[in-house]
Amino acid sequence: MDEDDNGFLDGTEMTKLAMWVFDSFHPGGQPIAQADREREAAKLLTRIDKNGDGVLEFAEFAQWFTKTCEGIKKFRMNQARNDKDRITK
């Protein structure tokens, strides 16, 4: 996603990351307007920009991505367990 190969994500790259997050973790959702995309990108950057420099460096992204993947894994495991419980009842 680092289109200009400067070592971090900023501007439209953050918007693309936000859209990837939205599309990946909210499948089947409604299309999101450009203004909402930019707002989501700003929120995402605020959450994961640990040093507050206004750009997303790889280390910040990697830490956030690892934590996010762990959360998704737990969510899916719980969802599968709940589905199994519903089927067996």
The bridge status of strand 8-9 relative to strand 56-57 is antiparallel
Alpha-carbon gap, residue 1 to 35, rounded angstroms: 20
Give the pLDDT band (50/70/90) at residue 4: very high
Q: What is the pLDDT of residue 10?
A: 86
Beta-sheet strands, E only, within the chain: 8-9, 56-57
Instruction: Provide the whole-model pTM.
Output: 0.66
Per-residue confidence (pLDDT) for residue 26, from 0 to 100: 65
Quick: pLDDT tens for 30-89: 777 778 877 877 888 888 888 999 888 989 989 988 998 898 888 889 888 888 887 876
pLDDT, position 28: 62
Domain definitions of the chain by residue range: 8-88
